[in-house]
Structure 1
Amino acid sequence: MRIRAARPEDVPVLQEIERAAGEVFREVGMPEIAADEPFSDEEFAPFLAAGLAWVATDGGDRPVAYLLAERVDGDLHVEQVSVHPGSARQGLGRALIDRAARRAAAEGLPALTLTTFAEVPWNAPYYARCGFTVLDGPQIGPQLRAVREREAAHGLDRWPRVCMRRAVRPQDGAQ
């Protein structure tokens, strides 16, 4: 596995990964999430331009997982991480999260944040195993609160969601 910066020509493959990864939500009674369309080319563009999009690739340099991040409340926020089901359970999500943590450390940012479904096994419980902890109301900054408001407007609050944070650790700064 290799992790590299995502490129514009990767976007169609990233959209395929998102669609495939979304299908597992049908199995837990969340077909609306499975049916949700991935980001458009235009929505991917700011992440690519900022250098805050990474892919894990197979031996042929074809992406099989990706992560998008943005700066939110002085932290690096994981906007999306998706792994193609055919490449799941190989540590790709964790490797991408660790890559984002190295970027945060290089920028002097104190933490990674994300929002996720609280009760979906490969969401909040998985991120807890990756070192994230759930934030409560006063710990959630204004920009992260705005992220949650956008998610609620998109209908994601039909299922319990949480904000999570992982402090950047000394080992995150190692290359």
Structure 2
Amino acid sequence: MRIRPADLADLPRCQDIERAAGECFRLVGMSAIADDEPLGLDELAPYQRSGLAWVAVDDLPVAYLIAEPVDGALHIEQVSVHPDRARRGIGRRLIEHAAAHAGGTGFAALTLTTFTDVAWNAPYYARCGFEPIPDAELTPGLRKIRDQEAAHGLDRWPRICMRRHLTAEQQIRSAGVN
């Protein structure tokens, strides 16, 4: 399994991965999440063009992560692993790759938003080193993301912003990572 920058040709496969991964939400009573369509190709392409979209590849992409700069941190917009490949550390490897990229390009942290009560969301990210960000400490960019999520109906279930600070050692070790 290798991680590489996403190509434009990978983006439809990323949509398929997200649809498949979303099916798990049906098992926890969140069918609306499973039914939600992934980002469109026109929405995914800017991540790819900016170099902030990565895929984990076997023969084909089996997982992907997209990110964007938000208020001095690299914000993970989406990370999805095809359920046929889940629970093998692929998502964590993508997160570590994003952390290496973030540290190597001057970001001091990773951020993300997630569901608090879904085992493969906030509890998983906590095991990956993310910590909850109190609402009073949300940056303007994170507040805007949360407002967009609420407008999209995601606040039907408890959500949280989380941050993972990158250590100086991570930033030094990751210099030069693409």
Provide the TM-score with structure 2 as the length reference: 0.95
Asked if 1:160 corresponds to 2:152, the answer is no
- Given that residues 53 and 66 in structure 2 are in contact (C-alpha distance below 8 angstroms), is that contact kept between their aligned partners in structure 1? yes
What pairs up with 1:1-175 in 2 under 5 angstroms? 1-58=1-58, 60=59, 62-169=60-167, 170-171=169-170, 173-175=172-174
* Aligned counterparts of 1:146 and 1:63: Cα–Cα separation in 2: 31
Residue 78 of structure 2: SS of its match in structure 1?
Answer: strand
- Given that residues 102 and 173 in structure 1 are in contact (C-alpha distance below 8 angstroms), is that contact kept between their aligned partners in structure 2? no
- Given that residues 98 and 172 in structure 1 are in contact (C-alpha distance below 8 angstroms), is that contact kept between their aligned partners in structure 2? no
* Aligned counterparts of 2:42 and 2:143: Cα–Cα separation in 1: 24
Residue type at the aligned position of 1:34: A
* Aligned counterparts of 1:83 and 1:15: Cα–Cα separation in 2: 11
Moved over 4 A (4+): none
Any idea what the Cα deviations from partners look like across 1:112-158, whole Å, max 9, x if unmatched? 00000000000000000000000002221000100000000000000
Sequence identity, in percent?
A: 60
Q: How many residues align?
A: 173
Query: What do you get for the CA RMSD once the two structures are aligned?
Result: 0.9
Unaligned runs of 5+ in 1: none
* Aligned counterparts of 1:113 and 1:46: Cα–Cα separation in 2: 19
Unaligned runs of 5+ in 2: none
- Given that residues 81 and 91 in structure 2 are in contact (C-alpha distance below 8 angstroms), is that contact kept between their aligned partners in structure 1? yes
* Aligned counterparts of 1:106 and 1:141: Cα–Cα separation in 2: 22
- Given that residues 11 and 45 in structure 2 are in contact (C-alpha distance below 8 angstroms), is that contact kept between their aligned partners in structure 1? no
Provide the TM-score with structure 1 as the length reference: 0.97
Shift of the alpha carbon at 1:172? Answer: 5.2
Cα–Cα, structure 1 residues 119 and 172, in superposed 2: closer, same or farther, change >3 Å?
Answer: farther
Cα–Cα, structure 1 residues 9 and 158, in superposed 2: closer, same or farther, change >3 Å?
Answer: same
* Aligned counterparts of 2:32 and 2:145: Cα–Cα separation in 1: 19
